Amino acid sequence: MQVTETLSSGLKREFKVVVGAAELSKQLDSKLHEMAGRANIKGFRPGKVPVPHLKRMYGKALMAEVVQKTIDDQSKQVLAERNLKPAYQPEVKLPEEEKEVDAIMAGESDFAFSLAFEIIPTFELQDVSGVELTRHMVEISDAQVDEALTRLTAQYKAWEPKEGKSAKGDKVTIGFVGQVDGKVFDGGTAEDVPLELGSGQFIPGFEDQLIGHKAGDELTVKVTFPATYGVKDLAGKPAEFAVKVASVEGPKEGTVDDEFAKKMGFEDLGKLKEMIRGRLSQEYAAMTSMKLKRDVLDALDGLYSFELPQRLVDAEFGGIWNALVAEMKKASKSFADEGTTEDAAQKEYRAIAERRVRLGLVLGTMGEKEGIQVNEQELQQSLMARARQFPGQEKQVFDHYRKNPSALIELRGPVFEQKVVDFLVSKAKVTEKTVSREELQAMVQDDDEDHSAHDHDHGDHDHVDHDHAHDHSHDHDHAEAKPKKKPAAKKAKKAD
């Protein structure tokens, strides 16, 4: 094998590798002799098939295997001998001319290919022991527990039959048949549908037309499906619904007592309040952790500046940009609507991508230096948390990750990142400060406006760093500075 470095500029590297025809033929012959010892072909005794006959039948297929193994083996050797860490899987450029390819496959010509990639930049890890951080804490008051309890009772409000006409806040039970262009459409017919007026569950304008009606009334509701409605054939079209009101109920004043707690599955009101306090504690702890994590990453971002692998930046930017464009299209928004231009937005989101990649490399390098690992138990906990995000589809989620081991890397990334952040917090100077719930919420909201990217999944995160996934970008509330105005598509409510 002959290796020639053809490019060394910044982080970019390119090598030309030449493997002699004799070496390829030797590997092919080895495969053919191995096959001859176990081949069972009609007309020949088992294990006695002549090698020339096998070469005529399987030579091209076996040579393709030899070529692929050669690429894999020699690529690893080039990297290992030069102690190079590619930032992503090297791009392999193969011969394209048909005559040249045929000669290689026939063992008549040397095999030449090239490897192109960018290396992981080297940088000195900074001392973080002097970094000052504040852990913002919220003390849970009895008033907050009572407030949460009030919200809970509102979700489980009781109803009682109401005489007379319906009003906003009442619940009606209806049946309806919808038509578009004079024809009944799929999903537009239903019976015994409960609907709280003013809840916004149905198409805009639908619920308003039900106010002022009593049980037994029949009416025609006229609405227009939103332009962004999920069913293409209905989007933007006017529709008429023949509606019959089966019943009208008004909210019944509920009593928060032990009996209510038992209906909720608790021993008494005290146990219910205990559960609520625990939930609030978890909620505030999550906000505290989120704020602290963002402060850590902001501090890191101020400590590092180094050249980045452009393919990683391009991939990160592509994912962010594609999600943004899709979101704006869904919301029928333009860049002018957002008070910016496409060029300005691209510049801003590329800065986000660069920050993501830079912090990913820093966290990965720190984690590697400190020997931080994600164990199987932590990975399973992350998988269970992901499954809980899809109620009723947990089995499908588990099956997806079981059948796609590479997808587990996406789960591993955020866990690894958080462990590195926790390590950094343990080394920094951290003071605790008690704040109100509103103050902490405002801090997190400010970070949402100034530091976080859009919540989306994007692909081609192949910056592997070998043993430590730098795929931190799947944890989207940490490292970025986004535009102040974020396109927000409103969800259209269906009437089925």
Beta bridge partners of residue 135, listed in sequence order:
432
Nearest Cα to Cα of residue 464 among 109, 67, 87, 50: 87
Q: Encode pLDDT of 261-278 as tens digits.
A: 998 899 999 999 999 999
Q: Encode pLDDT of 334-390 as tens digits.
A: 999 889 999 999 999 999 999 999 999 999 999 999 999 999 999 999 999 999 999
Domain, as residue range, for 222: 159-252
Residue with tokens 């899809």: 390
pLDDT at 31: 87
Total structural domains within the chain: 3
**The domain that contains 240 carries what CATH number?**
3.10.50.40
Distance CA(267)–CA(275), nearest Å, equals 11
Same domain, 136 and 114: no
- Lowest average pLDDT, out of 288-302, 317-331, 390-404, goes to 390-404
**470: confidence class by pLDDT, cuts 50, 70, 90:** very low
Distance CA(79)–CA(3), nearest Å, equals 11
Both tokens of 407, joined, read 């997808």
Same domain, 335 and 409: yes
pLDDT surpassing 60 at residue 467: no
Residue finishing a domain among 222, 252, 282: 252
Establish if 424 belongs to a structural domain.
yes
Establish if 483 belongs to a structural domain.
no
Establish if 51 belongs to a structural domain.
yes
Establish if 444 belongs to a structural domain.
yes
Q: Encode pLDDT of 141-173 as tens digits.
A: 999 999 999 888 877 888 899 989 999 999 999
Establish if 317 belongs to a structural domain.
yes
Residue with tokens 């020699």: 74
Same domain, 282 and 344: yes
CB atoms within 10 A of CB 314: 14
**The domain that contains 100 carries what CATH number?**
3.30.70.1050
Establish if 469 belongs to a structural domain.
yes
Distance CA(60)–CA(32), nearest Å, equals 11
Same domain, 280 and 400: yes
Nearest Cα to Cα of residue 395 among 385, 403, 406, 387: 387
Average pLDDT of the residues of the chain: 86
